Amino acid sequence: MANYIRSFLELGLNDVGLVGGKTASLGELYSTLASEGVAVPNGFAVTADAYRDALSQPGVAEQLHQLLDGLDKSKIKRLAVAAAKARAVVYKAMDTAPIRDQILEAYRKLEREAGKGVAVAVRSSATAEDLPTASFAGQHESFLNVRGPKDLFEACRRCFASIFTDRAISYRIDNGFDHFKVFLSVAVMKMVRSDIGASGVIFTLDTESGFRDVVFVTGCYGLGETIVQGQVDPDEFYVHKPTLAKGFRRVLRRRLGAKQIRMIYGKRGGSHATLTRNVPEAERRKFCISDPDVLTLADIAVRIEAHYSKHAGAAMPMDIEWARDGGDGKLYIIQARPETVASQRSAEMFETYNLKGKGSVIVTGRAVGEKIASGRTRRIASARDLSTFKPGEILVAPATSPDWEPVMKIAGGIITDKGGRTCHAAIVARELGIPAVVGATHATEKLETGSLVTISCAEGDVGNVYQGAVAFDVTRTPVSAFKAPRTPIMVNVGTPEMAFRTAMQPQSGVGLARMEFIISEHIGVHPMALLKPKKITSAKARTAIARLVEGYKTPADFFIERLSEGVGTIAAAFYPKPVIVRLSDFKTNEYASLLGGEAFEPKEENPMLGFRGASRYSHPAYAEGFALECAALRRVREEMGLSNLRIMVPFCRTVEEGKRVIATMAADGLKRGENGLEVYVMCEIPNNVIQIDAFAQLFDGFSIGSNDLTQLTLGVDRDSDIVAFDFDERDPGMLEMFRLAVTGAKRNGRHVGICGEAPANYPEIARYLTQLGIDSISVNPSSVFRTMAAVREAEAAKDAV
């Protein structure tokens, strides 16, 4: 009699043909990585031979051919009828004595190890599954909290029958798989008590950009099915691989998810094997796992990726499921497979979507992908509404499920009320290459069927749904056409959310990382308000601040952690290339608009020339707040290990002011030259140019800020409707300022770059600066390619002289 059972200990990656990719992977983890600290629950596989032999019984294959041959999947009702009949055929065929007896004996063996009536997960695993070009994710059924031999055999039969779900049939047709050349195996694995713990998904790259140097961890309370099904907005964490490998154990960035529900064990077996319960508000406000747990999971994920990459002979980013047992407290890996979307993107073309117009935002959520699309919405409340969906419409739903995939494949975009970036809707949207905004609370209430909207996923982590058709364009640059100039072209980055995708395009690092956006968008509170809350007169502001800092030891810790994670994300994205972060350069009116800010800022007639930049840092009115900025930057360099971070001082009016700033930074733990710290200064005031020799004694480099330097040289407010036409960086006086700045810096052996848009807007300025021998040019990401072209041309002209 054929042996249909294999223990995990007997399986490895070479057994895909026998037990499918998912189960072969579990066997590989269990049998080879346990010694490296990767805990995997024990179990066994019912091999694909059981399925093959069941279908070889008289008349079974013939019935299936009659149902499936020539089936048109676009006829959804006919597909559903044929699929149901096919499942019934397989379910009946799997009921043989050899299959039943061997499954029950294997379960009894597991009971002897783990206890009578041990709960198991029963998961399907296709023999073509989890290959690098086809994930088969979610196509077949899985059953959780299955107990006892009778329920186990029933669950196994239903798993085998699920090879003919509507979605699985449709998926195979779309991907060119023959229904009769894909076979199913079933994995039976001891369940981890994550119902009283936590669980989630790990990717060894950033799912949206494909950036490879991070581990992305998501988590929620209870069983992890709620994440996959998009029923919860999970916690999210990033860990930076290169610095983790060097021993720096810090979470790079985190985001608290809503974690609305928890899936737990229900009654024994049947349709009530699992139940969902609401998570209390106090628990929702806490992360579901600790930083040490996140770092342990990242360690494990990196080891798994290295093992699979070695086996494959090429880099193999991974998609991993984890579970934390609430009983023993241990972290377990319950699945690992190659990531099949972001890692497979073609590197032949750089494609950038840019929003050109404006519109009112209806809802926001988590952006999936980097594209923009416009279309009419179609609100789908349940599977009963799917037949009304028309090609190109924007699908709006509470969440999606695998059964919806035939319709999702004709959608122009997807919007869901719930879910995170690893939910079903997000996974399918990435595979299809369409934009999706998930976790957009109240989307199904605010978006009625037939509304014209624009989905934008090109603005960072936050996905926006705009009213109407907002104009956008797409820039496609073939890699074959790209050639870098000798002069380094760097990028200006304002938002951490854009860092990973920007880092993947050609550039030489970050010439300007703006701290203000991180403070305004990710902190939102005036730093002095955190240090001196008694001075805040607004009760509303006090309440808002108290909610933001909840869970932190001190309000200052909130500011330091948020700022260091924002700056650290940018530094990590471009590591080990240089990243120059500019210290806060808000004007007083901008500082006053932060929570609690009005109590600490003077009202000025001309904030542009007022209490801003370097003048603030050692002033009694802001020195304590500046100390928080320094503490955050010190954390990035020393605790996160991102030593590529350089610091730049803005709007430094005089040499004496420069000396005070350098001394203040040193007192706050950022001493120039210590641990390789370089401190630059913005060259944006005429006095910076006039006294460049003196400033060069204090700073390691200069970055020309062409906007302010032009305003102050020509005496023109670029924001004034009346005189803005006189604002022109090409003015002869400005060209002389550029010349004096570049030659002066080089005379003193200091780095000199420019971080304004002038070289991108005017190719003649790019050529002029190149001829002067400027060390770097930093522009906005969308301007990189045209700036490189202008600089290459200038270099060629210079070489020809």
Contacts of 280 (CB under 8 A, 6+ apart): none
Contacts of 619 (CB under 8 A, 6+ apart): 611
Structure tokens at 102: 């061997």
Dihedral, CA of residue 651, residue 652, residue 653 and residue 657, to nearest 10: 150
- Does the active-site annotation cover 442? no
- Does the active-site annotation cover 424? yes
Residue 309, CB-side half-sphere exposure with 13 Å CA sphere: 15
Choosing from 424, 526, 630, 652, the catalytic residue is: 424
Structure tokens at 725: 């036409």
d(CA 314, CA 176) in angstroms, rounded, equals 25
> Helix and strand tally (H, E) in the chain?
30, 30
Residue whose token pair is 């279309």: 375
d(CA 262, CA 443) in angstroms, rounded, equals 22
Reduce the secondary structure of 267-296 to three states and give it as a string.
CCCHHHCEEEEECCHHHHCCCCCCHHHHHH
Q: 291: closest CA among 232, 339, 248, 233?
A: 248
Q: 421: closest CA among 572, 212, 282, 238?
A: 238
CA distances for 11 relative to 33, 129, 184, 552, angstroms: 12, 16, 16, 46
Describe the crossing of helices 16-28 and 48-55 by its angle, rounded to 10 degrees: 160
| Class of residue 610 by CB neighbours under 10 A (exposed 0-12, middle 13-18, buried 19+) | middle
d(CA 146, CA 521) in angstroms, rounded, equals 46
Kindly list the catalytic residues: 424, 755
